[in-house]
């Protein structure tokens, strides 16, 4: 009888232990983008290089940890403007090669919806942010999708003549899609 109980307990606890493990990111299926309005027209760009560490347990989201490091020099929109955006007035990728998000807590909202509370650091400015996201598990792993809006001017993105919000809007929408699996992956190149 004791063996049967231990076997049943192990079967019941194994999925929770697997779910609580750090996720292996599939970088070729994952992305981070930013979108804003430039002279009233919506434009979207992608950061081609980033790393993510996700230790997520949907049964105990309060124990979860999420971190991102985005290579600001990997910004890609249009070859004619990419170097300008990577430059000192915008992302200043030379001085600040990475933007970071580090969670301080995760809470469930119901229906596979969650919020990651944490600190976003861009160009040396750190701010508390809330990142709403969804979590969809499947047989091959899981998909995390989230989006949130930042003020570019708060982070000194677009200095000097670029502070004019009639030319480039202050609000920037950040979108994240992370695909995770049980297979090992390397950082997005």
Identify the pLDDT of residue 23: 78
What are 54-92's pLDDT values in tens digits?
Answer: 999 999 999 999 999 999 999 999 888 889 999 999 999
Q: Tell me, yes or no, whether 120 lies in a domain.
A: yes
pLDDT at 138: 82
Cβ proximity of 126 and 47 under 8 Å: no
Q: For 6-21, b where at least 16 C-beta lie within 10 A, e where not — what string?
A: eeeeeeeeeeeeeeee
What is the pLDDT confidence band of residue 1, given thresholds at 50, 70 and 90?
A: very low
Whole-structure pTM value: 0.83
Q: Is the pLDDT of residue 114 over 50?
A: yes
Whether residue 11 lies inside any domain: the answer is no
Residue 177: is its pLDDT beyond 70? Answer: yes
Asked whether 36 and 168 are in contact (CB, 8 A), the reply is yes
Please indicate, yes or no, if residue 186 is contained in any of the structural domains.
no
Query: Residues 147, 152, 155, 158: is their CA dihedral positive or negative?
Result: positive
**Residue predicted with more confidence, 3 or 105:** 105
23 touches 140 (CB < 8 A): no
Pick from 133, 123, 115: nearest CA to 175: 133
- Total domains in the fold of the chain: 1
Residue 56 maps to a domain: yes
In-domain check, residue 4: no
Q: How far is CA 10 from CA 6, 7, 13, 63, in A?
A: 6, 5, 5, 21
21 confidence band (pLDDT: 50, 70, 90): low
Residue at 61 is within a domain: yes
Here the CATH number for the domain that contains residue 158 is 2.40.128.110
Q: Considering the domain boundaries, does residue 188 fall inside one? A: no
Domain region containing 37: 21-181
CB 174 within 8 A of CB 33: yes
Would you say residue 13 lies in a domain?
no
């Amino acid at each position: 009888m004791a063996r049967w109980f231990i076997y049943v307990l192990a079967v019941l606890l194994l999925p929770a232990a697997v779910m609580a493990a750090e996720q292996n990111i599939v970088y070729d299926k994952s992305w981070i983008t930013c979108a804003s309005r430039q002279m009233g027209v919506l434009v979207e760009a992608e950061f081609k290089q980033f790393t993510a560490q996700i230790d997520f347990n949907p049964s105990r989201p309060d124990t979860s940890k999420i971190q991102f490091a985005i290579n600001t020099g990997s910004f890609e929109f249009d070859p004619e403007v990419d170097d300008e955006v990577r430059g000192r007035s915008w992302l200043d990728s030379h001085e600040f090669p990475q933007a970071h998000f580090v969670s301080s807590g995760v809470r469930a909202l119901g229906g596979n919806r969650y919020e990651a509370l944490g600190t976003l650091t861009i160009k040396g400015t750190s701010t508390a942010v809330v990142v709403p996201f969804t979590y969809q598990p499947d047989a091959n792993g899981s998909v995390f999708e989230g989006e949130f809006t930042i003020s570019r001017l708060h982070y000194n993105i677009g200095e000097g003549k670029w502070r004019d919000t009639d030319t480039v809007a202050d609000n920037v929408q950040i979108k994240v899609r992370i695909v995770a699996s049980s297979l090992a992956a390397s950082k997005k190149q």
